[in-house]
Amino acid sequence: MTAQVAAHRRPRQHPFRGRTARTAALLAMAGAATTTGFDGIAQAEPRLTPTQVKTEVDSLYREAETATQKYDGAKEQAAAGERRLTSLRDEAARKTQKLNSARDALGTFAAAQYRSGDIAPAWQLALSSDPNRYLDDAALAERAGDRQAAAVSQVRQQLQEIERLRGAARVELKSLKSHQDELRRQKASVTGKLTEARRLLAELSPSQRDQVTGADGTDDTAPGAASRSADGTRQALERAGAVAAPDSRAAAAVAYAFAKLGSPYVWGATGPHSFDCSGLVQAAYRSAGVSLPRTTYAQIDAGRRVSRSELRPGDLVFFYSGVSHVGLYIGNGRMIHAPNPSAPVRVAPIDQMPFAGATRVV
């Protein structure tokens, strides 16, 4: 019996899974196994190489961006749910006020009937000194009774409608709480991955960090290269090698994106001073009078799909198998996009990432 209890209490061994396995592999690649010297003191673990850090940071950024798109979607749904809930509550309040007025009117009528002590119509006719006058009064009373019956029926309908609205509000509130829970989960996921990426980058020297994040002069366009004036934007387009956009709205969206070069990446942001990838694209087309969905998953279905060989300036270009990143095509195989927290809005070649598809929205 003792042996069985001990075996039962023996802790189970769990294999490495997910990020634990990847981190363990990277540590092994870096020769991170600790050794003990003759004095019994363990030696410090060697740091990862810049190449290994870049691999890990890029992976963290991709995972964070996927979580960001889910966060953006949940935020949009929560905002829409709040608007619907407010509308339902306002409508229920208006109908309740109308119902109360109808109830007051019925109560006044009922009280008047009670005070008058009305007797049966047959006895009133028999005792009346003027039967013709009575018949006129009786017809009027009957019509009044019909109106009151209609008022009672209307009150019943109002009660049913209010209950329906309250039921819909309860369902909407439950859905809203679900979206808010999803917001919290995705926010925790994004912040956790970005914190880990920052920790890894902090272990590098400044020059190594610039090399890993692409801030070492490899940008196609330096921050602020495009003037906010029309002439400056046109010159920037020429310097970037972009051909003229075939649609005025697409041209306006491209011009807006050029004006935002150097703006910081902030997850969940839609401008005007900071952006995430889908937020930049949405803001660019919003400036051109075109409404786009918030997330990459919805944006790819917002227009007509086009092949890579058909790309024109203003098209939306998407990357990775999960369609988690988007940029604005500007011609000559390049795009403007908001890469990640380590890099501002910039021009980059579209073959920098795995191409997933493109959409033309105008």
Catalytic residues: 277, 325, 337
Q: Whole-angstrom Cα distance, residue 274 to residue 280? A: 8
Of 279, 302, 317, the residue nearest 71 (C-alpha):
279
Q: Whole-angstrom Cα distance, residue 263 to residue 175? A: 35
Q: Is-contact 215 342, C-beta < 8 A?
A: yes
Q: Is-contact 343 214, C-beta < 8 A?
A: yes
Q: Does an H or E element contain 274, and which?
A: none
User: Count of CB atoms within 10 A of residue 163's CB?
Assistant: 11
| Sequence-ordered list of residues with C-beta below 8 angstroms from that of 154, at least 6 positions apart, any chain | 102
Taken in order 178, 64, 223, 290, the sign of the CA dihedral is negative
Cα torsion 157, 163, 165, 167 to 10°: value is -150
Q: Whole-angstrom Cα distance, residue 328 to residue 311? A: 11
Q: Whole-angstrom Cα distance, residue 16 to residue 52? A: 19
